[in-house]
Structure 1
Amino acid sequence: MYHKTPESITVTEAIKKMEHYCAYQDRCHKDVSQKLTTMKLIPEAKEKIILHLIEHNFLNEERFAKSFARGKFRIKKWGKQRIVRELKFRQISEYCIKVALKEISENDYLETFHEIAEKKFNTISETDTYRKRKKLIDYLLYRGWENQLVFEKINDLF
């Protein structure tokens, strides 16, 4: 019996697979390109598939950036700096990043920041004030919250 090898995938089959891949969850061009590389397609076929996905709205960088920003903010409680860093890592344009950040309302943003800062402050069992401050600062900065917000909050809490 004949088994298909990964190298013998047709462009049509690859398009179907990639349509499903993009429909399941918003993807960026970099994700799609990496996925196509694993399929061992020639560069011309990869270009053709990416073009097809864009034309049929399976691949939309702006939509990806918006849903990424909303999701990372709501679910992971990331600050704007971390979201921007991750979007840049995925080679998203400055324009799409700006549009994506508008998805987060300023009120929700500040409310979430204060909520996680206070929650974390109350869970740090460190008795040394200096160490407790450092742990909280590191935690908030790692999650991508702006320096000025972090230090204002630190001054309020200590």
Structure 2
Amino acid sequence: MDSNKTYTVNEAQKKLEHYCAYQERCHKEVRQKLWEMRMIPEAIDVIMVHLIQENYLNEERFAKAFVSGKFRIKKWGKNRLLRELKFRDISKYSIDSALKEIDLDDYYNTLDDLVQKRIAQVKEPNVYKKKKKVADYLLYRGWESALVYEKLNAYFG
């Protein structure tokens, strides 16, 4: 983006409509984009209100799309999803609503698949070290420690 270009409120609004229509965005991202376009706070507020009223920007929809995508594609657990959404200043209501969308059977089956896949990948003869490496991998991805250790104990005894 040309750092010297200035935008009218209408131009910025149109640009941000496309930005939001292309992919779900959170309020923080959109606000940041407007700051980068060097819009004044009053203009930012006007544009944000417009985007929300016209349903280009919807926090709960963003949260659900984010959770769905990161869970399905990156296989993140609920802790990681929660942390990432909080980082984006998403409300507790929207976070809870989005996390409830995850089917529990899918959740447990995904964890099971990840555990099996990771056990096969980790080439470590020492069973305790192997267990720790698999656990670290899953915890980093945001899986709840109780679930992780329950699964690992089932595999390793």
Question: Which TM-score tier does this pair reach, normalised by the shorter chain?
Answer: over 0.9
**Structure 2 Cα separation of the partners of residues 147 and 134 of structure 1:** 12
Equivalent residue runs for 1:1-158 within 5 Å: 5-6=4-5, 8-158=6-156
**Structure 1 Cα separation of the partners of residues 12 and 30 of structure 2:** 11
Q: CA deviation at 1:5?
A: 3.5
Question: Helix, strand or coil: the match of 1:53?
Answer: helix
Q: CA deviation at 1:102?
A: 1.4
Q: Which runs of 4+ in 1 moved over 2 A?
A: none
Is 2:3–2:37's contact at 8 Å kept on the other side of the alignment? no
**Structure 1 Cα separation of the partners of residues 97 and 32 of structure 2:** 25
Question: Helix, strand or coil: the match of 1:108?
Answer: helix
Q: CA deviation at 1:128?
A: 1.6
Identify if the C-alpha distance between structure 1 residues 129 and 12 changes in structure 2 by more than 3 Å, giving closer, same or farther.
same
**Structure 2 Cα separation of the partners of residues 96 and 11 of structure 1:** 29
The C-alpha deviation readout for 1:53-105, integer Å capped at 9, x for no partner, is 00000000000000000000000000011000000000000000010011110
**Structure 1 Cα separation of the partners of residues 50 and 17 of structure 2:** 9
Q: Which amino acid aligns with 2:105?
A: N
Unpaired runs of 5+ residues, structure 1, are: none
Q: CA deviation at 1:130?
A: 1.8
The percentage of counterpart residues that share the same residue type is 58
Q: Which amino acid aligns with 1:156?
A: A
Aligned residue pair count: 155
The C-alpha deviation readout for 1:24-81, integer Å capped at 9, x for no partner, is 0000000001111100010000000000000000000000000000000000000011
**Structure 1 Cα separation of the partners of residues 132 and 149 of structure 2:** 11
After TM superposition, the score normalised by the length of structure 1 is 0.95
Q: Which amino acid aligns with 2:111?
A: F
After TM superposition, the score normalised by the length of structure 2 is 0.96
Q: CA deviation at 1:126?
A: 1.2
**Structure 2 Cα separation of the partners of residues 116 and 124 of structure 1:** 12
